Amino acid sequence: MKDRLEALKVEAIGQIKEAQDLKDLQAVKVAYLGKKGPITEVLKGMGKLSAEERPVIGAYANEVRDSIQQELDKKQSALEDAAIAEKLSKETIDVSLPGRPVKKGNPHPLTAVVTEIEDLFLSMGFTIAEGPEVETDYYNFEALNLPKGHPARDMQDSFFITEDILLRTQTSPVQARTMEKHEGEGPVKIISPGKVYRRDNDDATHSHQFMQIEGLVVDQNVRLSDLKGVLETFAKKMFGEDRKIRLRPSFFPFTEPSVEMDISCFKCSGKGCSICKQTGWIEILGAGMVHPNVLEMAGFDSKKYTGFAFGMGPERIAMLKYGIDDIRHFYANDIRFLKQFKNA
């Protein structure tokens, strides 16, 4: 009987090995391990055996059964793996083909620069103030210590619409309007970005429309040295940690003292190159301590309050930062130009 079992085992394992698919395998399983299978048949004849032989043969029969089952399992998982592998191989694609493009635009470089500056000052506790682009002569000039006939009005040839209404030549009227709203109570801490207009012929360095971003702080005990601190923070953030700044005396009708700020050249670090015109310094912005007349006109007591203001041109900063050589690019909106500022 043992021989018979041994033979069945060899026979079954042989068939398992030859099975081509899961169906063949199932047939083998039914044929050998089924209730009507040969092993069951063999076990039915166990009654004829002696009491000593019976457990030995019984154990052996179970052993054979387990071996066959093990082989079946092994083969089954091998067949399954092969089936999956075949399925996957049929599903193979060319991963080198280009992907489906995701439609995505990006901000205009001027917006990118303005946003960067806005975010910097927002993080320092400033808010953003805005005002109309068509302004009155009062807010654009008079409230800023530029009465009619003041020679400094020549610095800005303006687009007047009527005698009293014009396209603002600077964003400073927003400062005047904001201070007025505060009704003599500090602190005021704003930046005001926006479009401004001047009668210039458009060329590589001039544009009749351009952007400005100005800042204003009015409070008790605001000092020129504080302005220096704010501007230094700005310069390092925008143009790199190792930038140095330099203040030069200048003139603006709405500030006194007035300064211009230069930064050490970010290209040559002060050695002199074409960007800084061999001086090592690049002019970035104008600033100063708010003129007492401007404070008074807006309702602030200039004995109690002081303030500083600064203003810069996003076009100039973008041109420096990205190496753009012609201001007209900003307004032509050539798509090949716009697309270059994906990560700006």
Annotated binding-site positions:
256
Q: Which of these, 240, 243, 289, lies nearest to 263 by C-alpha position?
A: 243
229 belongs to the binding site for another protein (CB under 8 A): yes
Residues annotated within a binding site for Mg(2+): 256
**H-type alpha helices, the chain:** 2-18, 22-33, 38-44, 53-91, 109-123, 137-140, 172-181, 224-239, 292-297, 314-322, 329-332, 335-338
95 belongs to the binding site for another protein (CB under 8 A): no
Q: For the window 4-33, what string marks contact with another protein as x by the rule CB under 8 A?
A: ------------------------------
Q: Which of these, 270, 303, 309, 293, lies nearest to 129 by C-alpha position?
A: 309
291 belongs to the binding site for another protein (CB under 8 A): yes
305 belongs to the binding site for another protein (CB under 8 A): no
Quickly count: other Cβ atoms within 10 Å of residue 148's Cβ.
Answer: 9
Nearer to another protein, 69 or 111 (CB): 111
The sign one gets for the Cα dihedral 280, 283, 289, 291 is positive
Per-position b or e across 232-254, b if 16+ CB within 10 A of its CB:
bebbebbbeeebebebeeeebbb
Among 108, 182, 236, 237, binds another protein (CB under 8 A): 108
Q: Check if the beta carbon of residue 286 is closer than 8 Å to that of residue 311.
A: yes
User: d(Cα 134, Cα 137) in Å, to the nearest integer?
Assistant: 10
Q: For the window 34-73, what string marks contact with another protein as x by the rule CB under 8 A?
A: ----------------------------------------
Among 142, 219, 272, 322, binds another protein (CB under 8 A): 219
How near is the Cβ of 241 to another protein at its closest, in Å? 15
127 belongs to the binding site for another protein (CB under 8 A): yes
340 belongs to the binding site for another protein (CB under 8 A): no
Of 40-48, 54-62, 155-163, 267-275, which part binds another protein (CB under 8 A)? Answer: 155-163
User: d(Cα 273, Cα 267) in Å, to the nearest integer?
Assistant: 8
Number of residues that bind another protein (CB under 8 A): 88
Count Cα neighbours of 313 within 13 Å in the Cβ-side half-sphere.
18
Among 38, 184, 257, 270, binds another protein (CB under 8 A): 257
Nearer to another protein, 15 or 175 (CB): 175
3 belongs to the binding site for another protein (CB under 8 A): no
180 belongs to the binding site for another protein (CB under 8 A): no
DSSP label of 130: -
